[in-house]
A and B are shown apart, each in its own frame.
Chain A
Amino acid sequence: MLCCKGVSKTFPSPQGDVEALRQVDLCAEAGEFVCLIGPSGCGKTTLLRLIAGLIPPTTGQILCPTENGNSPIRTSLVFQEGGLFPWMTVLDNVAFGLEMLGVPRPLRKKQAMDFLAQVGLEAFLHHFPYQLSAGMRQRAALARSFVTGAPVLLMDEPFASLDTQMHWILEEELLRIWREHRKTVVYVTHDVDEALRLGDRLLVLTARPGRICYEYTVPQEYRRSAVGKNETWKQEVRQEIWQLIRREVERSLARS
């Protein structure tokens, strides 16, 4: 379980403070797949960085309540460009998180190879990222995020720079691994359909300062159904969310 309570974030800057997020409440059950949608610049990336503990919130709390009090949350991040280190081989990239956890070399190598095999990259262990296609790099990034066993996965438009086919293939790949390892996922996207394909729940953020203005729980029977099947249920909710987002985008455009 992951809980953000009244989280706000203001970045100080010489041109005046930037209020990125205002009073965000977001809770995710263990193993839940939550999608975050919002106009660009509304603070989605900031929210993920807050949850990852990379920056402190200005106000509010981010908690991981367990039986014995609150524990720090272990997360793993996946960015749009994957965030693989260009100077490490695929294998070293995937093993990096384990290395930082102090896992001994033979063991971390074995585990990394395991996960790379799961994403079909066993033949590319010693390649550098520049030698891979964009889709392969994102697969490696997926392997890296799952290998550390962090219970919370934070994904920032992870497939947005891929072409449509590769996008779909990687979505399926993600779901396949996710079903196997059941992590809590917070998945940022600007694509409503993508969110409806992947999520248990959708949250819509307003233009900056970002607040959650809409929440939609995907009915159990429609969750993560195969592409092209049973699309009719989506019509209404898609329409509604698009209206909301359009309003927010226009609001942010009018202001800038």
Chain B
Amino acid sequence: MATDSSRGGAQFGPKLNVSAWVPPTILLFALLAVWAGLSGLGVLDSFFFPSPQKVAGTLLQMSTSGELATALTATLGRVFLGFALGASVGVVAGLLMGESAFLRTLFDPWVSALYPLPKIALFPVLVLFLGVGEQSKVVIIALAVLFLTLINTMSGVQGISPLYFDVARNCGAGRWQVFRRVILPGSLPSIFAGLRLALGMALLMAVAVELVTARQGLGALLWVSWETMRTDKLYATLLVVSVVGWSLNAGLARLEVWAIPWREHR
């Protein structure tokens, strides 16, 4: 049994693995160097591919002027608000539908019918009712998030081994105790899988609707850069969008490791 003790301890959290991130970083810098070199030699058209120095300079200028901060705040505000609304409704509804066969039969047809509909297609309808302001944007993000979290949460509940329900009930657990001590923790891995998909989707939706209607936000910045032929700005903004997407995902991954200490995280 002594040999098993090495498996214990609080070794949670992702392990830093040097060999996993050094080669990609080298590759990244190599590509940047090739890009800079080709731009310098005039091989790349500076309109379509402005040099990395130029893009970096624009990025710096955009951040000092406050343009970037304004856009980031607008986009992140919509993402977080829409995500919080959609995810809270989606998780709660998913848990209830997973738990209750009656609620499942009642709402499943609606969920199955509406889930495959690309939510962005509803945007014109929402604008019709809510106007082009913040509301329609937040609601469309919330809708997309809601379905992803609901479906994942529900399937998480239904995927819990019947064994655990037997054990809990054998110990005398009532419905509420089963919910709190079995269903809630048991579906957590699926809930987080849904949240990660949904957060990516929230950013996608935010940028998409901003491209169309917003005056502020990263999507609006992308569109304006295109309209004004500022390709350096376009690339700088794209870079910011992808960093935002990566950070959101990484943040949620950390939260997951913290919230599910009982699972082996790789």
Residues of chain A having any CB pair with chain B under 8 Å: 49, 52, 54, 75-77, 79, 81, 83, 85-88, 96-97, 100-101, 120, 123-124, 127-133, 136, 148
Given A101-B172, A128-B262, A83 contacting B4 (CB threshold 8 A)? no
- Asked if B261 is at the interface of the complex by the 8 Å CB criterion, the answer is yes
- Please, how many angstroms separate the alpha-carbon atoms of A120 and B1 in the complex? 9
For A77, list chain B residues within 8 Å (CB).
Answer: 166-167, 170
* Contact between B4 and A136, CB atoms less than 8 A apart: yes
Residues in A with CB closer than 8 Å to B170 are 52, 54, 75-77
* B171–A127 CB distance below 8 A: no
Number of A-B contacts (CB under 8 A): 69
A120 to B261, CA, bound (A): 24
Which B residues are CB-close (under 8 A) to A97?
A: 171-172
Overall SS of chain B's interface:
helix
Judging by beta carbons under 8 Å apart, are B171 and A128 in contact? no
Query: In the bound complex, do residue A131 and residue B8 qualify as a contact, i.e. CB atoms below 8 Å apart?
Result: yes
Q: Which of B171, B185, B188, B262 contacts A96 (CB 8 A)?
A: B171
Q: Does B5 contact A (CB under 8 A)?
A: yes
Once the chains are docked, how many angstroms separate the CA of A114 from the CA of B260?
Answer: 28
**In the complex, which of the residues A79, A100, A131 contacts B163, with contact meaning CB atoms closer than 8 Å?**
A79
Q: Does B175 have its Cβ within 8 Å of any Cβ on chain A?
A: no
Q: Are A49 and B172 in contact (CB under 8 A)?
A: no
B5 with A100: CB separation less than 8 A = no
Q: B172 contacts A132, CB within 8 Å?
A: no
Bitwise interface map of B from 61 to 80 toward A, beta carbon under 8 Å scored 1, else 0: 00000000000000000000
Q: Given contacts A128-B262, A133-B4, are A83 and B171 in contact (CB under 8 A)?
A: no
Expressed in whole angstroms, the Cα–Cα distance for A131 and B4 within the complex equals: 8
Chain B neighbourhood of A86, CB < 8 A: 262-263
B169 at the interface (CB under 8 A from A): yes
Query: Are A54 and B173 in touch, CB under 8 angstroms?
Result: no
Quick check: A130 and B185 within 8 Å, CB to CB?
no
A75 to B262, CA, bound (A): 28
